[in-house]
Every structure is written in structure tokens, then in C-alpha cells.
Chain A
Amino acid sequence: MRTLLVLTVLGGGVAHATVAPALGIAGVTPDLPLIVVVLLALRRGPEFGCAAGFAAGLLQDAAGGGLIGVQALTKAVLGFVIGAAGSRLSVTQPLVQVPGLVILTVAEGLARFALLKMFNFSAPFSELMFYVVLPQALYNGFLGALLVVALAWIESLRARTS
């Protein structure tokens, strides 16, 4: 579990630092660590989701130069909630994955905004939501769905060959 956790956090970090800028469309980049945390929390449960979310968020906080602990907290909670609810959710359909990830990203954005507001952050809510959170949420939704489909295809291929 530890190895997978380290790989997840570092892999998400590397992907976020390398692939995300290249995937940018009109200034909107996906939140790759968030997608990774959600997908792994669904498979590995709340503990893994919480730890992975905390570590990945902490790295993002450190890299971003803002208040340290905000993304660590929101992603840890998100990883935990998704991990706990994973067994009760049917997430194999893209019709569920896309809106699911959109809602989760928006929820994470709202939680982050609320936290920052508690600690005297003064950004306008509507603009932040409209220009940053929502576009990123849509992007995350489609990218996450693609990733789920790709993973499912790889797994079916492996099952067929073994």
C-alpha cells in the first residue's frame, strides 16, 4: 500500500508538472492529482484515498506558493468520502463518470474557497467559479472518463490474455 501510495503521489505530481501544462486548453488545465486520487480512492478505499489526497494536496500547496494545507485538507476529505462511498457507487459508465468528476471538482473548489475564506482569502466567488473552477471541472470530467475507459480496456485486455 505504501509503495502504491508513494507511486500515486509522485506519479500524480510528475503528471501534474509535466503533462497538465501540455494539456492546457485556453488556459484551463486539468487537476490531474484530483483525478488520480478519486480513481484510486474508488478502488482502494477511504484510507488510501485520504492519505493519497493529503500527500498530493500538500505537494500542490507547496508548489503553488499559497496557504499550505488547503488542498491537502480538501483532497484528503474528498479521497476519504469517495473511498467510503465507492462500493455504493456505480462508476463504470461514462455517463456517471463525467458528471461525477465535474461535481467532485466543483465540490473541492467550493470547499477550498470556504477554507480560504475562513483564513481571510479575498477573491470574488462568482468569477473564481465561472473562470477557474467550472472549466477545470468540465475538463476533469472528460479526462477522467477517458482515463476510466482506458483502464477498463487495459484490464479487459489483460484478462483476455491471461
Chain B
Amino acid sequence: MKTRKFALLSLAVAVCLLLLTLQTRGYGARAADALAAVTTPIQTGIARAHRVAFSAWETYLDWKNVRAENGRLREENQQLRVEGLLVRETDDENRRLRRLLALQERLPLTTVSGEIIARDWGGWMRALTVNRGRGDNISRHTAVISPDGLVGRVVEVRPGASIVQVLTDPASTVGAHVLRTRAPGIVEGEPSGVLRFKYMSRDGAQIQVGDVLVSSGQGGMFPRGIPVGRVRSIDDRGTALFHYAILEPAVNFSRVDDVLLVTGESRQDLAGFFPSDG
């Protein structure tokens, strides 16, 4: 057993010394060629394994990097979306408040601005709650307007808030006239959420689809000339005394957020202070 071990060592040493001697005596090329015949395939295999290992490792690293970057970008994207929404919301609010302020400044009326804090949008009642109440000099029947037109009237005043009956409430009635022809009538709320203009046929024969209606100011509850709606269709009742027109409200009641509560009186026609297209 011991002899075998030393034989193996002697053989290895002898082969190495032979190889070295051959190389130094000028047979290096042959010895190298002979060795290369054995080692080249092994080296090729090792190089291939090296390439495969590194390629797999690099693929893994790339995948890991891409994954990490993907996660980071997702997070950044989400944050930017939220920021974008906040900016858009702030921008919208700013625009709304600017419009409201501009209206408040140009109207020859004493008004108090208010924010809608609740909406009652059931079929029976259509009402908004404004954050202005008894302490803000608000009384029952105070007119409520927005930069687009008439919103409604205050029907209930509480310490810090008021309930506003909007024009589409089935119990709401407003005296109004057609801006173009001055034909008078009454605008009533409909359970379906639209407005109906009731007028006498002999006065309103020239009413057309698209006509703008404004408050008439009669009765003193609403100032004169505030846009109420636009004629969407005409319900011609032939020879009947009263005819009807269906109106598109000037104000989108479901989206109105800020309003003005009219606390002072004015006999002036306010139609010129609102957008001419109603």
C-alpha cells in the first residue's frame, strides 16, 4: 500500500520533470501540443461552464435589478398619481373659489359664501346643507346662487348650517321669464330631477329650444335675472291655456360645492352678471 502511494508520487514527479526537461531542451512545443490535446477540451468545458455560470448569474442580477426598479417605479408612480390627484383637486377648488369670489365681488348684492357639506338626493326631497346658519345672518327664504345660476332657497336655518331646497325639488316653484322674449311663467321642480316651465300660450308662443330662463324677481324672494335653466324641449298642449317646457337646470346640483347666500336686497336685473349662455 505504502509502495503504491510512493509509486504514484514518483510517477507524478517523473512526468513533471520529464515535461520540464523536454520543454527546456527545445521540445517544449511538442510537449505543449501533447498536453494541449488533453487540456484544451477540459479548458473549453471550463470556459463554457464559466460562461454559463456568469450568464446565469448576470441574468439573475438583471432580473433582480429590474424587479427592484419595477417596485420602486410602481411606488413612485403611485405617489405621483396621488400627488397629481391632490394637485388637480386643489386646482379645481381654487378655480371654483375664484369664480365664486369674482361673482361675489361683481354682484351689487350683499352675499355670504358657503360650502355644501351634505346633500339629500332622495326622490322626495332634493336639498343641500350649507355650512352657514343663524350666526351668519341667514334667514328662511334666503336665495342661494352659484356662478352658474340659481341654486334654490333656504328652507330651514340651524345654528351652524342651513338647508337649501334646490330648484329640482318637487315642492320648489320660482317665478321666471324667458331672457330673449320676456315671456313669464313659473319654474317647478320635477320628481325626475328636471325643471318644468309653465307658461301661458299667448305669451310664450315664441319660446324655442335653447332659450335661457332667468328669475323674474317677482315676490321679492329671488333677485331678478339669475339664470334658472335652458329650454330642452317644449310640450305643446295645443289650445290649452298653459303650455310647458322642460328645462335643463343652469346649475349642476350634484356637483355644486360652493355657493353664495344672498343676504341683502337688490331691485337691479342681474342677468348681465352671469355668463350670457345661461
Interface size class of B (residues with CB under 8 A): 20 to 34
Contact partners of A63 in chain B: CB under 8 A: 39, 43
Q: When the two chains form the complex, which single residue of A14, A47, A62, A120 contacts B35, counting CB atoms closer than 8 Å?
A: A62
Contact partners of B31 in chain A: CB under 8 A: 68
Chain A residues touching B, majority SS: helix
Question: CB of B32 within 8 A of chain A?
Answer: yes
Contact partners of A77 in chain B: CB under 8 A: 9, 12-13
Measured between C-beta atoms, what is the minimum distance from A123 to chain B in Å?
16
Question: CB of A30 within 8 A of chain B?
Answer: no
Q: Please give me the residue from chain A that is nearest to B13 by CB atom.
A: A73
Question: CB of B205 within 8 A of chain A?
Answer: no
Q: Are B9 and A17 in contact (CB under 8 A)?
A: no
Chain B residues touching A, majority SS: helix
* Residue with the greatest number of chain A CB neighbours at <10 A, chosen from B13, B45, B46: B46
Question: CB of B82 within 8 A of chain A?
Answer: no
Q: Are A73 and B45 in contact (CB under 8 A)?
A: no
Q: Are B36 and A62 in contact (CB under 8 A)?
A: yes
Q: In whole angstroms, what is the CA distance A85 to B79 when docked?
A: 66
In the complex where A17-B50, A62-B43, A63-B43 touch, is A80 in contact with B9 (Cβ < 8 A)?
yes
Q: Are A120 and B24 in contact (CB under 8 A)?
A: yes
Q: Are B19 and A68 in contact (CB under 8 A)?
A: yes
Q: When the two chains form the complex, which single residue of A18, A46, A62, A76 contacts B49, counting CB atoms closer than 8 Å?
A: A18
Interface size class of A (residues with CB under 8 A): 20 to 34
Contact partners of A67 in chain B: CB under 8 A: 20, 23-24, 28
Question: CB of A82 within 8 A of chain B?
Answer: no
Binding site for A on B (CB under 8 A): 4-5, 8-9, 12-13, 15-20, 23-24, 28, 31-32, 35-36, 39-40, 42-43, 45-47, 49-50, 53-54
CB<8 Å pairs between A and B, sample of 18: A13-B42, A14-B50, A50-B12, A54-B12, A54-B15, A58-B35, A59-B39, A59-B43, A61-B35, A62-B43, A63-B43, A68-B20, A70-B16, A76-B9, A76-B13, A77-B9, A80-B5, A84-B5
Binding site for B on A (CB under 8 A): 10, 13-14, 17-18, 46-47, 50-51, 53-54, 58-59, 61-63, 67-70, 72-73, 76-77, 80, 84, 115, 119-120
